[in-house]
Structure 1
């Protein structure tokens, strides 16, 4: 009896020692083992349970090399909370490659089907949303076929929904239609539910964009349609017969291939709250892959921005403090890579690679209940008499004081297009520093609204952005906070009567400094729709220029803007905006600016013509012009030489070699930005104008005019001025766009001139115009 007791005691000692500091998990482990190096567990959940037994000292769960197919996400709760002096780390053992796949590896017996397509029966209840073969993502059967070089969705066709195409699809239910927003403000997706009596598709969806619209007429594709399985690397799963069809490439040994399909949305979930947070847990050095796509669940509106969100990522963190994700590789996850939802404090993601995520890279999203007088649609507006005028948030259920540092984020938005490398919404004091973000369909960094400011955006390298969408920037923000009205006349009156309202939500300034931006399809820095309380300094803008639309309390100084300039759009009176000590490459591009802020002055222009145009607007009295004398522009060094005229206007050099990731490991694999050749001074002369019924108009033909009006394309006739003597006075406003005169479509002022010739004997005419983001018709009495 004594021997048995002693043996039992000895085993307890061995187990407790194993649980004390180091716990081991291996793909070939066993959960009935003791978790030691020589007898590792098989699952993280077993190791997690063991770690809970020791909170008096630091514990490390070591994962041994190999691929683990995870059946259930690891969920941390308050029961896993650790004291600061006894944290928990989950790490790769001796830097071995550890892959956690949220998928199921399939045992398949492949048989020929036809035309090079193979088929295999699948046992059990398996989700089929994506397919990986030997770790490589394959293509759901689609039309048109996948084209790696196609700009939008890797291939689109305007006849996707043609009757002829749809008639080919015998069982279209379960298929998907993906399309860009009509104005290219992100995308939308629809699940096909069947066909109606007319043979037309019935669908559900389209909720993925918070600015509802019809599908884009051209940029759309269909997937998960059996009849479209006609190209190598395509696949289709028949749920009824439990049969997987796959068109393998000729060089693939399918018999020995590892075929897997995602089953989970998340691999790790931190699930606490402010009262009982998860604390002091670190996940380090793991590869995370093959999570489910979540695009059909992306439907929660983010206040009045263009965004909707699904608060789930490969790692989802909610109710956590002092937790970190470091040196991990998010490889082809199906949805968001990392989501910080609601209460989070002092958490960090750093040293990570996020490559090929289906949705966004890193998203911070607070609780709308923490927002005072929240609104959720662009066209909504608060009743000022009833609006809560208390500054700042309600409670603390939002992310704050967190950091995104030294991450490489590339090729995200593989599935969804309203995405960002880093998205900030309903949060405060988030630091986004030394990240390299490129090859994204929309913004590299997006600030969704002003709530509640305090962010520091610094030393990032952001380029190859807005690749598949439009009217956006490498950095983008909206400021449609509780004070903001979509109607300009109302905003003018509100601003004059209540200037204090602009900073009720953005209570702390947002600082953008020491970054390098390049956007070839929009602006380098785009502050849209009332974005307020910004300080923007020491940024290198390489192509798209810097735009400020509406907004208040913004200081822009000491930036270098190459091959572009400053784009002020529709400013308010007394907006408290300054633009000083900047180097620009041409004259400004103002649209609808009557009031020029506090101080637009002391800037360096390339030549006298560019400066003189600004002097006509009564700005830049102390500015000058000349060659800035960059040290080595061809190699990206835009510091200026000691005798540069830039110093005369107060410019100060800032570092040109500190942008982007800092770790050698990430620097070695990061894409490199393309440095543009410096173009000659841009032609900033006004384009041709004409008089139409006494109003001054021009062709709408610039990206800036498109953005300022909200048009989906650069077309129509832009109204510049409607004097009192015009018959259009009181009917049209400056910044309206004339789309149609009677039955004649207006693409430019040539069309308008032709239409005007037919109005000499008319008594009235109907115009279709675009105003306040919508087309409308007005009747004009001519006699």
Structure 2
């Protein structure tokens, strides 16, 4: 550490790194200088140091700042934030890169498995001081199946009728008789062009039929909104559904169930399978790049960075009743008389939407790029350019094993904007423009939210 002596005493310089390179390693320490031989431990600390280097115009920043992340896992308990103060310029960008793949990891490892009959059981640890809940489990690198009543989706049961007045779905009694005492069971209902996740509140058997009611707010939204609606036809092609999240459904190798009341995790292993690596996701967002319209985040590039293990808990807490593209309704209902909204179409309903969480979000930015990055094992969207973005390049990235959308791009229906209204903000900077998505591999996405 360089020192300077004055008559007032001994002063220490704030930084000892006089280059535009900062190094980070899973084996580092955030108290380190960030030099190659003394790396930081977290990207957050490295960004703070880069921010201060630019603020003080330290030597080297005129050519840009590069944060070198050693390959490995960087576990996070909250999103890494990138702010306007982290911006570069076209000639001197801020670059976060790895010479292998540095993973921002939102997962928690599950150890201590014990045999219990055909099942393996383990205790679920607390996360960041709180009990942990989740909607995905990855065993030996592969997503396991949340316990459900069918393995072949072609063999799903179908509803009998839809009773929106009493907020009841009538289903075959044989479909639900095995989960009458299951406290947290869910129904995944296939509607016209999307699926809804509905938390089951009660089941009443009436002969060969059963009345299924659901918790709020999804019950109110599900039965009030007219589109998309459950299908009830004259040829038997009614809406199909499957049941999930009940221990009674844990009957097939590869399935799991989490009992949140006892904090026990159950897994049905395949014959001869040994669980060497089990991970559950604990966070919803790993990276949040966010500026404002007047002070955007500019000229930031991510290279060879991986983003893995996120969840999305709204379906467990409030259900999930989407309109389309995975965007969930916060309210939606039929109106009468119809409103004259379009030249050739009278509007018969109103609705407002929310946007699912994403592993990486970009808002209020200009030229924020992702090059050769990996987005894997994610519980909702992968990468979301939400609003107010100009430019940006997504190139050579891998999007794989993602519950919802791989990439979402564009501001089109903010939460307070009625979704049928054309979105034409007074400040056009709110819109997203100029984004280039090129030469990426997008595979096995929307594998939970089929809409």
Which bin holds the TM-score, normalised by the shorter protein? Answer: 0.7 to 0.9
Say whether the 8 Å CA contact 1:99–1:287 is kept in structure 2: yes
Asked whether the equivalents of residues 173 and 205 of structure 2 are also in contact (C-alpha less than 8 Å), the reply is: no
1:338-357 matches, within 5 Å, as 338-357=383-402
Other structure's SS at 1:286 match:
strand
Structure 2 counterpart of 1:290:
309
**Counterpart in the other structure of 1:64:** 70
- Distance 1:4-1:306 versus aligned 2 partners, 3 A rule: closer
Distance 1:283 1:193, change over 3 A: farther
CA distance in 2, matches of 1:242, 1:325: 37
Report the equivalent of 1:122: 124
Structure 1 residue 143 corresponds to structure 2 residue 146: no
Matched residue of 1:177: which SS?
strand
**Aligned-partner Cα distance in 1 for 2:103–2:173:** 45
Q: Say whether 1:244 aligns with 2:254.
A: no
Partner of 2:41: 42
Matches within 5 A, 1:498-509: none
Structure 1: which 5+ runs fail to align?
Answer: 383-387, 419-783
* Structure 1 residue 156: Cα displacement: 2.8
2:57 is matched with: none
Task: Give 1:299's match in structure 2, choosing from 301, 324, 328.
Answer: 328
* CA distance 1:68–1:135, change in 2 (3 Å): farther
Aligned-partner Cα distance in 1 for 2:45–2:201: 41
SS in 1 for 2:35: coil
Q: Pick from 408, 422, 427 the counterpart of residue 395 of structure 1.
A: 427
1:590-640 alpha-carbon deviations (Å, 9 max, x no partner)? xxxxxxxxxxxxxxxxxxxxxxxxxxxxxxxxxxxxxxxxxxxxxxxxxxx
Partner residue of 1:262?
A: 281
Would you say the 8 A contact 2:157–2:175 is kept in 1? no
After the TM superposition, which residues 340-419 of structure 1 pair with which residues of structure 2 at under 5 Å, given as runs?
340-366=385-411, 368=413, 376-377=419-420, 393-396=425-428, 397-418=430-451
Aligned partners of 2:328 and 2:3: how far apart in 1? 64
Post-superposition offset of 1:170: 4.8
The equivalent residue for 1:203 is 214
Aligned-partner Cα distance in 2 for 1:398–1:279: 16
- Which residue is equivalent to 2:184? 174
Please give the alpha-carbon distance, in whole angstroms, between the structure 1 residues aligned to 2:415 and 2:312: 29
| CA–CA separation in structure 1 for the residues paired with 2:213 and 2:415 | 38
Name the CA shift for 1:197/1:366 in 2 (closer, same or farther; >3 Å): same
- Alignment partner of 1:53 is 2:52: yes
Give runs of aligned pairs for residues 555-704 of structure 1, distance below 5 A. Answer: none
State the partner residue of 1:327: 372
The verdict on how the C-alpha distance between 1:162 and 1:40 changes in structure 2, with shifts beyond 3 A counting, is: farther
Please say if residues 352 and 419 of structure 2, whose CA atoms lie closer than 8 Å, have aligned partners that are also in contact.
no
Q: Using a 3 Å threshold, how does the CA distance of structure 1 residues 200 and 226 change in structure 2: closer, same or farther? A: farther
Q: Which TM-score applies when normalising by structure 2?
A: 0.76
In the aligned structure 2, how far is the partner of 1:53 from the partner of 1:345? Answer: 26
Structure 1 distance, partners of 2:242, 2:295, is: 46
User: Aligned partners of 2:255, 2:180: CA distance in 1, in Å?
Assistant: 18
CA distance in 1, matches of 2:270, 2:82: 41
Deviation (angstroms), 1:238: 0.8
User: What is the rounded CA distance, in whole Å, between the counterparts of 1:60 and 1:97 in structure 2?
Assistant: 16
Give how far 1:365 is off. Answer: 3.0
- Rounded to whole Å, the distance in 1 between the matches of 2:135 and 2:253 is 18
Matches of 1:77 and 1:236, distance apart in 2: 39
- TM-superposed CA distance for 1:37, in Å, is 2.1
Correspondence 1:405-484 to 2 at 5 A: 405-418=438-451
Instruction: Using the TM superposition, give the Cα deviation of residue 13 of structure 1 relative to its aligned residue in structure 2, in angstroms.
Output: 8.3
Answer 1 or 2: higher relative contact order, Cα 8 Å, separation at least 6.
2
Distance 1:33 1:210, change over 3 A: farther
Distance in structure 2 (CA, Å) of the matches to 1:3 and 1:177: 66
Quick one: distance in 2 between partners of 1:366 and 1:63? 32
Compare the two structures and name the one with the higher strand fraction.
2
Q: Tell me if the contact between 2:290 and 2:363 (Cα under 8 Å) persists in the aligned partners.
A: yes
Aligned residue for 2:108? 104
Is the CA contact (8 Å cut-off) linking 1:75 and 1:268 kept in structure 2? Answer: yes
Supply the distance in 1 between the matched residues of 2:3 and 2:269 (Cα, whole angstroms). Answer: 62
The yes-or-no answer on 1:191 pairing with 2:224 is: no
SS of the aligned residue for 2:132 comes to coil
Do the aligned residues in 1 keep the contact of 2:328 with 2:356 (CA within 8 Å)?
no
Whole-angstrom CA distance in 1 between matches of 2:87 and 2:418: 35
Q: Structure 2 vs 1, CA of residues 162 and 272 (structure 1 numbering), >3 Å: closer, same or farther?
A: same
The whole-number CA distance in structure 1 between the counterparts of 2:226 and 2:371 is 33
Correspondence for 1:156: 156
Q: Is the Cα–Cα contact under 8 Å of residues 173 and 194 in structure 1 kept in the other structure?
A: no
**Closer/same/farther in 2, CA of residues 316 and 171 from structure 1, 3 Å limit:** farther
Other-structure match for 2:254: 233
* Alpha-carbon distance in structure 2 between the residues aligned to 1:161 and 1:247: 28
Change (3 A) 1:294 1:352: farther
Distance 1:232 1:369 in 2: 42
Would you say the 8 A contact 1:370–1:394 is kept in 2? no
RMSD of aligned Cα (Å): 3.5
Cα distance, 1:10 vs structure 2? 11
CA contact (8 A) 2:23 2:67 kept: yes
Distance 1:194 1:263 in 2: 29
Cα distance per residue 1:168-217 (max 9 Å; x no partner): 22543332211221x3x222221223446987433143769982312673
Contact residue 169 and residue 225 of structure 1 kept, 8 A: yes
Helix, strand or coil: the match of 1:411?
Answer: strand
C-alpha separation in 2, matches of 1:349 and 1:322 = 10
Secondary structure at 2:16 match in 1: helix
Q: Any conservation in 2 of the 1:210–1:308 contact (CA below 8 Å)?
A: no
SS at 1:45 equivalent: helix
Question: How many Å apart are 1:127 and its aligned residue?
Answer: 2.1
Deviation at 1:71, TM superposition (A): 1.6
The structure with more radius of gyration: 1
What CA distance in whole angstroms lies between the structure 2 residues aligned with 1:32 and 1:162?
62
Encode CA deviations 1:324-382: one digit per residue, 9 max, x unaligned.
111111113111111111211112212111122211122223154799xx7535xxxx9
- Distance in 2 separating the partners of 1:197 and 1:170: 9
